Every structure is written in structure tokens, then in C-alpha cells.
Chain A
């Protein structure tokens, strides 16, 4: 629980990923997200995820960060694949395992049988891989970019300063919030509260835990707000910046490639969708329809 703060630390290593302009990283992030949403097949999504591995290795993070990302991905994959495999409601569906047979006394009759379906498993895996890809790329950007650079990157991309500042600040304090959450749970356990037991008191327990955390956050936000405002902060007025961003040739090439790949995929999917809906058909694009069908 106390290692959470280490997750906020941006490491400074001498490798390409740290030297990229934050705008490039944001373009890459956006492109990976777009690709992940556009693809449907688990094997293609797996391929996109695999592309992130060299970037992670290149980053040379401390072990704690690798542990966290692996854990998050595994939990996401397992949760989504299992839940979709069990509760898949579409047809056709193929049973690959029986958990509770339909003729099992009481439970079988109550549930109508509980099975794992192949189609559900593949659908869940696709969802899980989508989630994993987005989380992994998001954390990669967060762990290799100083918040101030990210803020500046967002502003240079025409995101309103107030909104960008709010986003970066809330991300910055997120680990503090999680750490406080654990403290509150520990304190309440020492006062006899069962904070993990599910049942009719679950909602009450959740409120009990969240109340002090939110109260502390509101207090912190008020102080931070007053501190910023007393330092002439006004999101609507022009401001300058100490930092300079350098968008060099490597940045241009990487951003361009990422945006082109993502845009090409989206265009392909749109064209295919128009064809499937009988809205638009170009015979000379048959090769594209063939590719799109596989994606």
C-alpha cells in the first residue's frame, strides 16, 4: 500500500521514449487508442499490445511499475474474458466447459446451467486486450513525461489551459488519494468495521470509507485553489512558460506514422461499414473490403 507514491515518479532515463516531445506521445497515445477501438479480432489486438513491449523495455522502469502494469493487465484480461465467457448471450455460441450442468439439483434449475462459451471468451479477450492496450499506453506516457511537459503539450495542442491544468493536477494527486483510501480502511478496521464483507452493509461501508477521503480532497483542493489564485493563476489570461518543447524530425516522423496508421484504419472501417450497410460500394475497392473483413 505504501509503494503507491512511487508510481507518481517520472523516471529520467537516457532513452528515446523520454526524449520524445509530449505532443508526439499524445499523438501515439491517441493513435493506439483509435487502433485498439477499431480492431475486433483478439489476435490483432494482441499484436498491438505486443508492440508496446519494446517501448516498456526501452523505458527501463523500476520493478514496481512493471509489476503494477502486469497485474493490471492480467486482472483486466482475466475478469473480462471470464465474465464474457460465462454470460455471453449472443448466438451462435459454443460450450467449451460446463461449470454447473442444467440438471444439477437446485442450482442447475435456478441458473439454467452455467457454461463457458468459446465466442464469449474470444469477445472478452478482445475487450480485455483493448483495455490492456489503452491502460499500458496511457501509463507509458504518464511514467515517461513530466506532468508540466504533458500540460504544455496539451496546451500546444489547443486544449484550454484551465482544462489541461485541472486534468494534470487531478492525475498528480490520484496516488495520494489512493494512499489515503488505504489509511482510512486500516483505521476503520481498527475500529471494528468490516470493510470488505459484502452484504447489506456494503453501501454504508463504502460511504464510510469515501467520506473522509472526499473531505480531505475538498480541503486540499480549497488550499491548492487558494494557493494558485494567490499566485495570479487565471486560466483565461495569456501566460508564458519556462519550458520549451522541441518537436524535432523524429517526432514528426513518429507522430505522422501513428496518425496515418490510425486514420487509415478508421477510413477502412468506415468504408467497409458503408459497404456492409449497402450505402456505398466501389468495385475497385474490393481488395480493401477483403482486408477490412479480417480486421
Chain B
């Protein structure tokens, strides 16, 4: 059992505590989802449980954290590491071995276990995460989901009783997410206590025993999933994503919240007739046809690309045309070629065969620098984009380089900052901001140049819902002014809600291209790319109506696009 008593923690160099008098008890074998806005203190709690606080993080800790009576302040890290395993968001930042079994062996080696026991621990850990066939494989050859499972195996080899995971799904594609969640749930079913910090509440709510929401270093909601999700207002107030099953349950007036599609089906079969707006079979809410601007912004003609002459093609004969002012979303598993396609439109990569045209210019004859101010790229890891000392300098860097006049520079900078809601951060150092804020600064620094094309690589990943919504909403506004937007995402809901057109890539090819709602109906195509339609669509199928978001389903309003 984990017992946290009046835990208060202040990071070194800060005056205000990040965690304030937190008290909670977690029973052995429980699966707890700990969620909340970015910066609310979730990760700090995990470090406290793991003993990194206070042993290695410095700072000031008050209160007590105990595991089965073992005080984390008294026990050394080595002892605690056998009790608690900690997994981070990005597996690439924690895996340092080049071979799978070496990574798993690291913990037992540190515990000075004899070689025979290390081998046994590796066997057991790899089996538990389903990687026993990968033992001698190079870590660079693993997919995102496999890497995260390897990270889990590398702590399981120390036989911890508790597993704490800090946003392990944030970097994963749909296939990786399914793999990792299955692994975690399997471990929990076998008696392991799991504490999972995650923004993607809708993906995990049906798996957990308990949901805790934190805000400003305190727990503001702590209940079993059904009861917690009944308090939708708390989630909405904090900008957290509410699972569609919970929203639907509330809209339908179900007595208790359904956690997944099966429960919804059961309730409907039990005779609860939903008072829905549209009549069954009604062809509902098509994406409004966008007026054809006539001008092609981005074009690909039979483009093939491979990173190495001996490697496989990453893009395979891709032909594509995107009109000016279109908002296009691009989905597919990691490695399907999404980011490679995106980089071609910034002239950062040139096709091995075929052609790519950006605003009428052949990229074969074009250096990326020549597109400065015309094409803007926002990478998934915004840290690599930011380098100025203040947010204001960052946002106005592009306009300054492009020799905008002082007045225009000021106007564009302020406009972009206001739109991204970062006006209050003007004098902050961009690198000291939270992930969500950094992404908004990066986007503002692109928008201030008034590019004609904006390319974004997974802008929704690791963001809470309010951040994602405001950012994508702003991009849609830009599109109305004729700016072409192309973004990759793993969130089909965001694609439906915010894009005019959805492209699905699989194995270097575009396997679907059309209005998001039309593509969503093509279940077999989605399956090929390991995608699932949104839950509202599946609920709609049960009710024999077409719905693509909760508003469609309840007949309240049309989705924004």
C-alpha cells in the first residue's frame, strides 16, 4: 500500500511549493489514473513515490511517503527501485543500450545479481511485455510501442511491486498505444499496482480503478471512474478531455456513466431509448464542401523517397494536390511516411523520383532557405525550434530576418502572440515554459511571418484538450485567409473536427484521401492503418445513425468543420 501523508515539495530555486499538503492512499493492486493540466504536479508526485524526491532531486520535502511501511526518506534508492519502477514519456530518452537484452539487464546488474539471476530476470520481464522474441534485436529497430514496452521491461526486471508511468502514450501511434495499454493492463491484472499519468483520459478511463485529478499541487477529484466521470464539469473546467462515452451517458441521462462501447450497447439494449435529434438512417452532417480556391498550393507527382540507396522507399509513388486555403490532416502509424511527406513540402527533403511543387516552385531546384517566410514548419519537439532569450524575440525573429518594417513587425508579433494566448509570456524565456506553451510560442513564431503554407508535425501530441482546440481553431481561422495548413495527427477526432480533408498513409502510400467524414465511414481502410473511428461514430452505428462527434450524436450542433 502507498500512503502519502501531507506531502509538500518545493523544487530547488523556487519559492512556491509544486505540491501542497497532498494526502492519499493507494491500495496494492490498484490501477490509478492521475491526470490534470500540464504543470499541475503529476510528475512530481511520481518522483516522490519513486524516491527520486528527496534523494536525488534536491529541494525541500515535507510530509511522508510510505510503501508497505517503508519510508521513502529512510530507504535508499536501490531499495526503492525494487519497489517502484518509473517509466518516462519518451522511450528514446531513457533507452541507452543498443541491444534489447542489455537494456533489460541494466537494473539487475546494478543490484549486483549473479549472472544466472540476471538472465532469469530478463526472460521474465521480456515475456511479460511480449518482447521475448526481440531479445537480441537492436533497440534502434524497434517501433515506438515496442520501445516503450522495452522501457517497461527494463524496470520489470527489478521485480517492482509498483509501476509508475509518466505519460507513456504521448509519443505513440494508435498501434503503439494499444500495445502498451494491453501490457500495462496485463501487469495490473497480475497484481501489480499501476499509477499512470496521462492526458489521453479517453484511452484509459475504462481500464483503471480510480481517477485522480490534480490542480496546482492538490488533488481536486479522486473517485472510481464512473463517479469521477459523472463530474464532467470538473474535467471541462480544467480543459481536460472528457471521454465521449461519459459525455454520451450524461446527454442521454443514463443512471451511471458508461465507460466503453460495450457498456453503451448494453444500456441501449436494456431499453434506454436515447432522445436523439436526427432520425435513424438520416445522412447526417456532411463536411461542408469548401469553395475551390482554384490555386494549387502543394503538389506531389509520383514522388518516391528513400533515405538510403539500399533502404526501402519511405514514400512510394505519392501523387497529391492540396489547394490554397485547405486544412488537411494526415494520419497513419509511425513509420508510414507522414513526417517524410511533410518535410518534402518544406523542401527539406527532395524526392528520389517524381516531383514536388510548393506554390508552383519545383523543390528539386529549391533550397529550403528560399522558402523562408513562405512555408513554416512546426516540429513535434518544439524545443528544437526555440532559441531566443524571450518569447517576444522568438516570435519576431522571423519577421526581423525577412526585413519587415518595425511597425509591421510589432503588429504581426502582437497579433500572433494574442492569437496563441501567450501575450502574458512576452518576457519569459521560451525554453523555461511548459510543453504546451512552448508549442504555442513555436506556432506564433511561424504565424508572425505570415507564411502561405504551415506544416505541423503532430501538434496535438502531449497537449491537453483546451490547448489542442485553441491551436487548431486558430489554424482554421488562418485557412479562411487563404493559408494552407497540413498537419499530422494521431487524433481522428481532431482530424474530423478541424480539417477539410483527411489523408491516411500506410507503408509510404496514401490509402485514403477525402473529406474526413467520408473516410471515417471506410472502416476497412482505417483498420489497414490501425486506426479506429471515434467512439461517437461507433455509438452512432449501434443507434443506426451517422455521427462523427458528440454534437452530431446528440443533435445539438454541427461540428465546427
Contact = CB atoms under 8 A, between A and B. Distances in A.
Q: Do A and B come from one complex?
A: yes
Interface of A: 2-3, 5-6, 8-10, 62-64, 146-148, 169, 172-173, 176, 180, 183-184, 186-194, 207-209, 211-213, 215-216, 219-220, 223-224, 226-234, 237-244
Interface string B282-318: 0000000000000000000000000110100000000
Given A5-B140, A242-B122, A230 B52 contact: yes
B489 interface: no
Contacts of B375: 190
B110 A209 contact: no
Given A193-B397, A242-B108, 15 more contacts: A2-B349, A5-B140, A9-B138, A146-B102, A147-B98, A148-B97, A191-B373, A192-B373, A192-B402, A215-B431, A223-B93, A223-B94, A231-B110, A240-B112, A242-B102
Contacts of B387: 184, 188, 207-209, 211-212
Interface residues of B, number: 74
A47 to B, nearest CB: 34
10 contacts: A2-B349, A3-B307, A9-B140, A191-B373, A215-B383, A227-B151, A229-B52, A232-B110, A237-B112, A241-B109
Nearest to B105: A242
Contact of B110 (A8, A186, A192, A239): A239
Nearest to A223: B93
B331 interface: no
A148 B98 contact: yes
B398 A216 contact: no
B77 A230 contact: yes
A227 B102 contact: no
A212 B52 CA distance: 26
B56 interface: yes
Contact of A193 (B119, B155, B401): B401
B113 interface: yes
Interface stretch (B78-86, B171-179, B192-200, B462-470): B78-86
B251 interface: no
A242 B101 contact: yes
Interface string B410-448: 000000000000000000000100000000000001100
The 7 A-B residue pairs with the shortest CB-CB distance, nearest first, are: A192-B401, A227-B94, A189-B369, A242-B105, A192-B372, A232-B110, A223-B93
Given A187-B385, A191-B398, A231 B107 contact: yes
A63 B308 CA distance: 10
Contacts of B346: 186, 190
B129 interface: no
Contact of A239 (B112, B308, B367, B381): B112
B336 to A, nearest CB: 17
B474 interface: no
Nearest to B376: A190
A194 B368 CA distance: 11
A9 B386 CA distance: 30
B56 A229 contact: yes
Contacts of B106: 228, 231, 233
B484 interface: no
A59 B151 CA distance: 32
B377 A187 contact: yes
B158 interface: yes
Among B50, B96, B101, B449, max chain A CB count under 10 A is at B96
Contacts of B402: 192
Among A186, A211, A227, A228, max chain B CB count under 10 A is at A227
A245 to B, nearest CB: 13
Contacts of A241: 109, 115
Nearest to A231: B107
B245 interface: no
A41 B311 CA distance: 43
Contact of A187 (B77, B140, B384): B384
B98 A227 contact: no
B94 A3 contact: no
Contacts of B96: 169, 172-173, 224, 228
B254 interface: no
Contacts, number: 179
Nearest to A226: B52
Interface in B443-463: 445-446, 449
B12 interface: no
B371 interface: yes
B376 A8 contact: no
B352 interface: no
Nearest to A63: B310
Contacts of B109: 239-242
Contacts of A6: 308
Given A231-B155, A234-B110, A242-B119, A183 B384 contact: yes
Contact of B384 (A180, A193, A237): A180
A274 B51 CA distance: 60
Given A9-B140, A226-B56, A146 B113 contact: no
Contacts of A216: 381, 383-384
Contacts of B376: 190-191
A192 B377 CA distance: 12
A223 B167 CA distance: 13
A10 B102 CA distance: 14
B339 to A, nearest CB: 11
A63 B446 CA distance: 39
Among A3, A6, A62, A148, max chain B CB count under 10 A is at A148
B154 A231 contact: yes
Contacts of A180: 384
A230 B164 CA distance: 11
B200 to A, nearest CB: 20
A1 B224 CA distance: 50
A62 B310 contact: yes
A127 B88 CA distance: 46
B107 A232 contact: yes
Interface string B394-408: 000110011000000
Interface string B340-370: 0000001011000000000000000001110
B368 A148 contact: no
A211 B371 CA distance: 23
Among A5, A191, A226, max chain B CB count under 10 A is at A191
A230 B368 contact: no
A241 B105 CA distance: 8
A238 B386 contact: no
A224 B91 CA distance: 10
A238 B110 CA distance: 8
Contacts of A231: 81, 106-107, 110, 154-155, 158
Contacts of A230: 50-52, 77, 81, 84-86, 155
B114 interface: yes
Contact of A190 (B118, B155, B371): B371
